[in-house]
A and B are shown apart, each in its own frame.
Chain A
């Protein structure tokens, strides 16, 4: 399976702290994407990093990609209670256009 696997499954931090989530996968990829899902809602696209990129920033988000280790990390700095959500990595590989999602990390930011 080329499914991404997130680590940890659940993470609880205090407001203002940084949150780091990891994603590992098994096959070569075109790109890796991170999505956020609030409880009972749809997915919101956060950031896409291509296979030839190593790091990308967007506001308080920082994503790294290590293709040699087949892993990616999502860092959320200065977390807020509103960041509480599930975070999923999704990979695009080969000629297929569909995404393969991991099982997600449930982040809880305590006020």
Chain B
């Protein structure tokens, strides 16, 4: 059973370019969460999605950031017109539909560097 997969693992972009981060949840998991981690800090929640629905995007910056989880394919976190402050590690986590456990399973992360 493969774990949560994220790609790319490292991404370098110049200011003004777009960054696309992908996340494939664990098999059987229909809930996906994106978190951002700045150096030496904990993870900060960004957005929670289920298939074809954004459930909670309260942690997402209002501009330039968007997320989707289509019926087919991975979840995508898109950052348009990146700035240096977007440099961080972006982690995706997934969980099963049932609320019997709140354990989230994390991917290895995508480290975004904006030059």
- A59 sits at the interface (CB 8 A): no
Q: B4 to chain A: which residues have CB within 8 Å?
A: 42
Q: A44 to chain B: which residues have CB within 8 Å?
A: 106
**Given A97-B95, A98-B33: A104 and B42 interface contact (C-beta under 8 Å):** yes
Question: In the assembled complex, how far is the CB of residue B69 from the closest CB belonging to chain A, in whole angstroms?
Answer: 14
Q: B111 to chain A: which residues have CB within 8 Å?
A: 40
**Given A42-B108, A42-B109, A104-B42: A48 and B56 interface contact (C-beta under 8 Å):** no
Question: In the assembled complex, how far is the CB of residue B50 from the closest CB belonging to chain A, in whole angstroms?
Answer: 10
CA–CA, A103 to B43, complex, Å?
8
Within 8 A of B (CB), among A65-109: 88, 90, 92, 96-104
Q: B99 to chain A: which residues have CB within 8 Å?
A: 97
A97, B48: Cβ atoms closer than 8 Å: yes
Question: In the assembled complex, how far is the CB of residue A51 from the closest CB belonging to chain B, in whole angstroms?
Answer: 11
B interface size (C-beta, 8 A): 27
Partner pick for A101 among B42, B55, B103, B105, CB 8 A cutoff? B42
Within 8 A of B (CB), among A6-43: 30-31, 33, 35, 40-43
A interface size (C-beta, 8 A): 24
Q: B102 to chain A: which residues have CB within 8 Å?
A: 30-31, 33, 48, 92, 97, 99
A98, B59: Cβ atoms closer than 8 Å: yes
- A57 sits at the interface (CB 8 A): no
Question: In the assembled complex, how far is the CB of residue B44 from the closest CB belonging to chain A, in whole angstroms?
Answer: 7
Partner pick for B56 among A33, A42, A98, A103, CB 8 A cutoff? A98
Q: A98 to chain B: which residues have CB within 8 Å?
A: 33, 45, 48, 56, 59
A99, B108: Cβ atoms closer than 8 Å: no
CA–CA, A3 to B59, complex, Å?
13
B107, A42: Cβ atoms closer than 8 Å: yes
Partner pick for B31 among A48, A90, A97, A100, CB 8 A cutoff? A97
CA–CA, A41 to B6, complex, Å?
12
- B17 sits at the interface (CB 8 A): no
CA–CA, A45 to B44, complex, Å?
16
**Interface of A toward B, CB cutoff 8 Å:** 3, 30-31, 33, 35, 40-45, 48, 88, 90, 92, 96-104
